[in-house]
Structure 1
């Protein structure tokens, strides 16, 4: 029983580590913020190609991993962001104003 618990914890830690590593290697995409929905932690972006998702440029709604991201941007801002498909949902993992 103790071995099973240790193995489960080790696998969970490894999964978290892999997620962080994958996030660090995602290529950034460029976009313009079209709408911010603070209540639902969503952002609408008119984005260019998102290479890691094999997604062409379009306008779409993303969930944000951290609601704090929405405090740093406003409608009309040009941004650089990373996104991934997590648990069936397109999710912004990082976002910052473009230079």
Structure 2
């Protein structure tokens, strides 16, 4: 059938895809510790269920991009033995 080869091009991103972002809400911004506390959905790339926890940020400038109560999309990766936010976008 014509057109069926296009389905492969629309494949869902894998959980290891660096562009896959999780969603959550900022609960706390701790500039002294360089951490954000996020109530988040599943972190599929890490096999982690939804919960609330504090993460280090890769770039301290991320701490100035958000405030408590904002919804965000973000990527967490294991870096130097810590779970670290490597990408952060404020949801619109």
Same fold (TM over 0.5): yes
Q: Which runs of 5+ in 2 are unaligned?
A: 1-15
Q: Which runs of 4+ in 1 moved over 4 A?
A: none
The equivalent position to 1:67 in structure 2, one of 54, 60, 65, is 60
TM-score between the two structures when normalised by the length of structure 1: 0.73
Deviations 1:18-75 (A, max 9, x none): xxxxx97241000000000011110100000111100010000100000100111000
CA RMSD of the aligned region, Å? Answer: 1.5
TM-score between the two structures when normalised by the length of structure 2: 0.78
SS in structure 2 of the partner of residue 82 of structure 1: strand
Question: CA 1:86–1:25 in structure 2 vs 1: closer, same or farther (change >3 Å)?
Answer: same
SS in structure 2 of the partner of residue 70 of structure 1: helix
